[in-house]
Amino acid sequence: MTEGQQAQLFTGGPVVIFGLTGLAIAGLIGAVIGLACAAPWLFLVLYRNHWVFKARMAVLDQGLDEYHKLEPYDTMLMRLWCWNIEEFKT
C-alpha cells in the first residue's frame, strides 16, 4: 500500500477491497443475508404446495362430492398453520 493510499484510508477516503467500495460490499452482505432469510420461506412454500396437491388428490380419490367440499387451492396453500385436511372441508 502506498503512502497516498494509507493517507486516504486514515483520512476517511474511500476504502476499496478487491476492487469494491464499502457501499458495494455492504450491498453484497445485505444480499447474502436476504437470501439466507428467504431460502427457508421458499422451502416452506414449495413444501406446502406439494402437500396441498397430494392432500387434494387423496380427497379426490374418495370421490368428487368430497373433493367439491374442499376450499379453493389458494386458500389451502396460504393457510400455513393448518395441516389437517378435514379443517378445509366446508
Q: Residue 82 — pLDDT band, cuts 50, 70, 90? A: confident
pLDDT at position 75 is: 92
SS3 at position 65: helix
User: For residue range 6-21, what is the model confidence (pLDDT) as tens digits?
Assistant: 555 555 555 566 666 6
Residue 46, all three cell numbers: 414449495
pLDDT at position 9 is: 56
CA distance 44 to 50: 10
Amino acid making up residue 89: K
Q: How far is CA 85 from CA 12, 20, 26, 28, in A?
A: 61, 52, 45, 42
Q: Are 88 and 70 in contact (CB under 8 A)?
A: yes
**Structural domain for 56, as ranges:** 3-88
In the chain, the number of structural domains is 1
pTM equals: 0.62
pLDDT at position 27 is: 81
